[in-house]
Amino acid sequence: MPGFLIAAVLVLFVGILALNFTTGEKKIEQSVERLYAAADPAFARAMGVLLGPAILQGNRFEALLNGDRIFPAMLASIRDAKKTITFESYIYWSDAIGKEFADALAERARAGVKVHVLLDWVGSNKMDPTHLATMEAAGVEVRKFHKPAWYSLARMNNRTHRKVLVVDGKVGFTGGVGIAGLWTGDAQDPQHWRDTHFSAEGPVVAQMQAVFLDNWIKATGAVLHGDNYFPELPAAGNDAAQMFSSSPSGGSESMHLMYLLAITSAQHSIHLSSAYFVPDKLSTQALADALKRGVKVQIIVPGEHTDAAIVRRASRARWGDLLAAGAEIHEYQPTMYHCKVLIIDSLMVSVGSTNFDTRSFRLNDEANLNIYAADFARQQVDVFNADLSRSRQISLHEWQQRPLSEKFLEHAASLIGAQL
């Protein structure tokens, strides 16, 4: 190949790579000023007006711990569907649970239910083609998000990391779980992960449906609407909530801003469960500022049982300022810890697909359910404390005394932290 062609190919490759590593939007570059506490009505107004969508009253939620409770609840809801099923997931692999979901979705499609499944192209690359064939033969509409094509190479690094299931427009599920054998069981060993998913009923389910529709339109150009997808939703409980989402194609910094605003509003406590904790400078500063004003900050991350050793190294490289400021960082011991839950002042719970890292804050399509309910939040603090009892705290002294070889590898991993 002539030299000029080689040069042209290299320039094209570098250009595509650069486009995949940036959103083209302005980054948040300054700390968010603290103007109110999480208990102040101004906080809810900011979350529901400045960031949106509106906070809706009249919802009911249930926390489902680990696969033994998560998957039966999701499958039971699918099998009870009468009109529509919309399902978006990052991970969908070729395990027995993948077949069970494929069979349940196919059965409902054969029964006349409109079934729409949106899977990330990267996250579903381990999916058994027979599962896909089973669903499509039954009439399930299956689409892959950002499947590579010559005209979309600049979007290959933008994945849908969202995990949303809505049945008949009335019942919703979201959290950290993918469809794979690793999520089955009860976190009893390293082959069965610890995770939490949440079911929802009430008006907020319409917002969950809208989040699914956002990416369905991107993938298909088709608009799903009408009573079968957006029925009238009476109150199902007493809790307020909003379904929050972000995307590089429409507000990539909004999830980052939401987290910063919540942390900045904390007055008493921050409980953070994070499967992939690689905080940027602003997030670290927000947490350190919270510690300075007397907020107790406790963080649980994976320990030696992790599916991404390089992420763990990048994470540990960034703990120094937080540990020095008084944050408690605990590593979960029994198995991979895949929870993604933020609890502010035992008043607000944010749960969903978002990791505490730059990839989630800027590159992925993410979705979190924000629940504003003290009783529910206190229950999730109890769950957090149960996980804490199975975790090991890392002290500042231990972190400082780790071997030079570990420090070098962690620093090297941290340099590419934005892409992890």
332, 353 Cβ separation under 8 angstroms:
no
Q: Are strands 269-274 and 340-344 parallel, antiparallel or unpaired?
A: antiparallel
DSSP-based three-state secondary structure for 301:
strand
Whether 197 is catalytic is: no
**Which segments within 49-176 are labelled E, that is strand?**
56-65, 84-89, 114-120, 141-145, 164-167, 171-175
| Angstrom distance (rounded) from CA 254 to CA 207 | 16
| Angstrom distance (rounded) from CA 90 to CA 65 | 19
Whether 292 is catalytic is: no
| Angstrom distance (rounded) from CA 254 to CA 204 | 19
DSSP-based three-state secondary structure for 270:
strand
Cis-peptide, bond into residue 302, ω within 30° of zero: no
C-alpha 304 chain-centroid distance: 22
Nearest CA to 365 out of 200, 120, 48 is that of 120
DSSP-based three-state secondary structure for 214:
helix
380, 308 Cβ separation under 8 angstroms:
no
Whether 161 is catalytic is: yes
Angle at which helices 309-317 and 404-415 cross, to 10° = 100
The angle subtended at Cα 377 by Cα 201 and Cα 38, nearest 5°, is: 110
The one catalytic residue in 170, 340, 357, 387 is: 340
The one catalytic residue in 131, 144, 146, 161 is: 161
Whether 163 is catalytic is: yes
Cβ burial of 228 (10 Å; 0-12, 13-18, 19+) is middle
- The region that residue 137 occupies, defined by phi over 0 for left and psi between -120 and 50 for alpha, beta otherwise, is alpha
The one catalytic residue in 120, 195, 239, 345 is: 345
The one catalytic residue in 131, 144, 146, 168 is: 168
The one catalytic residue in 116, 131, 144, 163 is: 163
DSSP-based three-state secondary structure for 253:
coil
Element (H, E) at 378: helix 374-388
Known catalytic residues are 161, 163, 168, 338, 340, 345
